[in-house]
Amino acid sequence: MDRPLSVAPEATSFGWTRAADAGLTFRRIGNADLAFLARVYASTRAGELAATGWPDEHKAAFLEQQFQAQHAHYQQYYPDADWLVTMRGDEDIGRLYLERWPSQHRIIDIAFLTAHRGHGLGAALLRDLLDEAATAGKAVSIHVEKFNPAMRLYRRLGFKTEEDKGVYDLMRWTAAPA
């Protein structure tokens, strides 16, 4: 990434009032954030890798390679996305990658460090993203691993599985008719 870090915009600058009420703010990612983003990525794979029996150094090398591949893929295939570090207070706690296409909004990735999961932060942010899309008259889509614990949240918010992609489900949310 060659993009410099920018000043951290407040969540309300996106119109994300629930996220702001939950204390979340956002800033655009830069090269200085790559180690943190890799840590967020690793936290999402910890449970999966615990069952491998691999030594810690093998897990770390695997996670670094996978993060780099994912990051390069996302940058290549979603060049106009908002690449955001999610913050609470002065602490970096997660990431949000969001692409706004003419036909829909695609949540490329939303993830929080383990200590910040299960406290309603993701739900607040997702509700804001759904409101933003509904106001624009657009659906929201996201790829979700079939065994991701957040699947329950997506379903509760009204996401439906649109396509089985093997390990992932492509899920779509569409606003209820007015």
List, for residues 78-124, the tens digit of each pLDDT value. 999 999 999 999 899 999 999 999 999 999 999 999 999 999 999 99
pLDDT at 7: 46
Task: Give the chain's residues under pLDDT 70.
Answer: 1-13, 178
Residue 162, domain CATH: 3.40.630.30
Examine residue 1 and state whether it is found in any structural domain, yes or no: no
> Sign (positive/negative) of CA torsion 27, 7, 9, 140?
negative
Whole-prediction pTM: 0.91
pLDDT at 15: 82
State the total domains in the chain: 1
Residue 162, domain extent: 17-173
Examine residue 84 and state whether it is found in any structural domain, yes or no: yes
Examine residue 12 and state whether it is found in any structural domain, yes or no: no
